Structure 1
Amino acid sequence: MDDLQVIGQQAQTAERELSQLSTITKNQVLVQMAQSLRQHQAEIMLANQRDLNSASDLAVNFVDRLTLTAERIEQMALGMEKVAQLSDPIGNIEKGWRTEAGLMIEQQRVPLGVIGIIYEARPNVTADASALTFKSGNAVILRGGKEALQTNITVCDVLQSVLKQNDLNPYMIQVMQDTSHETADKMMQLTEYIDVLIPRGSARLIQAVVQNAKVPVIETGAGNCHIYVDEFAQLQMASDIIVNAKTQRPSVCNAAEKIVIHSSVVKEFLPKIAEALKPFNVELRGDKRAQEILPDITPATEEDWGLEYNDFIMAVKVVDSLDEAIDHINKYNTKHSESIITDNYENSEKFLREIDAACVYVNASTRFTDGFEFGFGAEIGISTQKLHARGPMGLNELTSTKYVIRGNGQIRK
Structure 2
Amino acid sequence: MLTLRLINEETDRVIRGLEKKHFKGAKEAIEKVQEVDRLRRETQQKLDKTKQDAKLLAAQIGQLMKQGDKEQAEQVKEQVAALKQADKTLQEKMDAAEQELTNLLCAIPNIPCELVPEGADASANVVVKEGGVKPQLGADAQCHWDLCKKYNLIDFDLGVKVTGAGFPIYIGKMARLQRALEAFFLEEARKSGYLEVQPPYVVNEASGYGTGQLPDKEGQMYHVNMDNLYLIPTAEVPVTNIFRDVILDESELPIKRCAYSACFRREAGSYGKDVRGLNRLHQFDKVEIVRIDTPQHSYESLDEMLVHVEGLMKQLELPYRILRLCGGDMSFTSAICYDFEVWSAAQERWLEVSSVSNFESYQANRLKCRYRRAEDKKIELCHTLNGSALALPRIVAAIIENNQTPEGIRIPKCLVPYCGFEILDDKNF
Pick the TM interval, shorter chain: under 0.3
TM-score, structure 1 length as denominator?
0.21
Q: For the pair shown, which has the larger CA radius of gyration, 1 or 2?
A: 2
